[in-house]
Each structure stands twice: as C-alpha cells, then as structure tokens.
C-alpha cells in the first residue's frame, strides 16, 4: 500500500518537533516532507526530507503538491508568515488536500499592563516617536525602514542572522539570537542596554515569551504588532493533538 504523503510547512520549533515525533510514529504508513522558507543562513536541521525556498505562489504550491502527490498539509509556519499560509489555504482548498494549522497559544497579557497593539510597523514608529529613547526591537529586518526617520532614538535590533546590508536606522546596535530565550538573560539585556520600550510581534508561544515577561516586570512599555487573523479550517497549538489528527487521517 502506498504511503500517505504529508507536507509540513514550517522551519519553526513546533514544525521540527512534529517531524521528530511523526516520522518514527508513522514510518510504515506515511512519508513526510518539511519545507523551510530559506531566509535564515544556517537553519536548524529537520528530520526527514527537506525542501527550502518558496513554491512560487498558490499555483507553484499546488503544482508541487500535485507532483509529489501530497494528501495532507500541516501549516506550522510563523504566525506572521501570512503569504505562505494564505497560499496554502487556497491551494489546499482547490486541490482538496487535507490541511491543519499547528499554531501558538496567544500570550496572556495583563489587562491594564503597559502594552498596546498596533496594526503595522508605521503605527509602531508613530507610537514610540515622542517618548522612547532606547528601543529593543525584535520584529526582524522587514519593515524597519518605518523607523528610519527617528534620529533621536537608539535601537537594539535582534535578528537570527546578521543582515547582508546596513540597516536604515540612524543609531543602532544589532545582536543575533535564536529562540528559545530565557527570562534571566532577557532581564539582563533590558537592564544592560537601558531599554525603555520593547517593540515585538504579538506572535504568542513560549519560546519568545520571556522578553514580554521581562518588560512587564520592569514596567517597560511594549508595542506589539497585531497578529494576523486565523484562517478558516482546523487549528491546534498542540503537537500531541496534531499527531492524533494525523493518526486519524493517515
């Protein structure tokens, strides 16, 4: 009997954990392919077969799934990876491929805490423009030009890799790091660099929560980019639940 072919979209920690557990669990009945965007210079290895780079939009993803005879797709991408998630939703709907999203639990932020959600990077720049002096920004390189005219603010920018081109920021320092992060280190980072505002994506999950906890404890204002709305379809934040769903559908 032919094996069920499963495509995991990810590169995230949950995508790797799912592949690590699913491949031996369904070794006799399924074949797994993991996909990464290819934007990091030294991605963490994923068990099983891996493909890297984009698919070329909805049509490209549908063509790949047809060529590989994919029957199940698991969207374990970053919550802000809107394009690939949107493409997967449409491609799976038109190709009648079963799909589930393996996402992240939202952060339980305190009511009345010193945090605010904004729609985009431009709104985040506007929010910090009049009061911040030393900003810790953890949103990645995309969209940083929104802060380029804030010459009175010093930025501590954390990325997974050093950028290939200079950042368009008047005054800044770049540090690199890959989640998970830890509370004591995040507390020390905020203190050492005298941070007075944190700018982050509201991405949820445990791996990057310590920076949020550290800022809340230090009463440092937090500006969060609003998370994209969930797409229709099955959704879980649990690897175990995803494995159970796979067992029922393979």
d(CA 74, CA 91): 13
d(CA 38, CA 54): 8
Do residues 122 and 215 share a domain? yes
Q: Report pLDDT digits (tens) over 145-196.
A: 999 999 999 999 999 999 999 999 999 999 999 999 999 999 999 999 999 9
64 domain-assigned: yes
Closest alpha carbon to 179 in 124, 138, 213, 219:
138
**Average pLDDT of the residues in 83-99:** 96
Do residues 76 and 122 share a domain? no
110 domain-assigned: no
Do residues 192 and 211 share a domain? yes
pLDDT of residue 41: 59
pLDDT of residue 38: 56
What is the pTM assigned to this prediction? 0.90
Do residues 119 and 213 share a domain? yes
Four-CA torsion 37, 227, 98, 89, nearest 10 degrees = -70
Instruction: Identify the band that residue 112 occupies on the pLDDT scale cut at 50, 70 and 90.
Output: confident
Count of domains forming the chain: 2
pLDDT of residue 43: 63
Instruction: Identify the band that residue 42 occupies on the pLDDT scale cut at 50, 70 and 90.
Output: low
Do residues 85 and 161 share a domain? no
Do residues 58 and 10 share a domain? yes
> CATH number, domain at 54?
3.40.50.720
With 0-12 / 13-18 / 19 or more C-beta atoms within 10 angstroms meaning exposed / middle / buried, residue 48 is middle
Query: Domain range for residue 213?
Result: 115-225
Do residues 238 and 202 share a domain? no
With 0-12 / 13-18 / 19 or more C-beta atoms within 10 angstroms meaning exposed / middle / buried, residue 236 is middle
Does residue 233 surpass a pLDDT of 90?
yes
């Amino acid at each position: 009997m032919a094996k069920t072919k499963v495509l995991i979209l990810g590169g995230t920690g949950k995508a790797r954990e799912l592949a690590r557990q699913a491949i031996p669990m369904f070794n006799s009945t399924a074949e797994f392919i993991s996909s990464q965007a290819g934007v990091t210079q030294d991605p963490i290895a994923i068990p099983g077969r891996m493909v890297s780079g984009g698919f070329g939009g909805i049509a490209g993803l549908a063509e790949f799934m047809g060529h590989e005879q994919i029957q199940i797709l698991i969207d374990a991408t970053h919550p802000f990876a809107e394009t690939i998630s949107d493409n997967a939703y449409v491609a799976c709907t038109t190709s009648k491929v079963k799909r589930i999203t393996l996402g992240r639990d939202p952060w339980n932020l305190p009511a009345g805490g010193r945090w605010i959600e904004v729609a985009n990077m431009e709104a985040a720049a506007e929010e910090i423009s009049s009061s911040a002096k030393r900003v810790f920004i953890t949103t990645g390189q995309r969209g940083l030009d929104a802060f380029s005219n804030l010459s009175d603010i010093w930025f501590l920018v954390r990325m997974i890799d050093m950028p290939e081109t200079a950042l368009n920021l008047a005054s800044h320092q770049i540090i690199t790091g890959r989640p998970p992060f830890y509370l004591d280190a995040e507390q020390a980072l905020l203190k050492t660099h005298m941070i007075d505002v944190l700018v982050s994506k509201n991405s949820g999950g445990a791996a990057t929560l310590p920076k949020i906890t550290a800022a809340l404890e230090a009463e440092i204002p937090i500006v969060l980019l609003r998370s994209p709305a969930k797409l229709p379809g099955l959704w879980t934040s649990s690897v175990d639940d995803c494995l159970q769903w796979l067992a029922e559908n393979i």
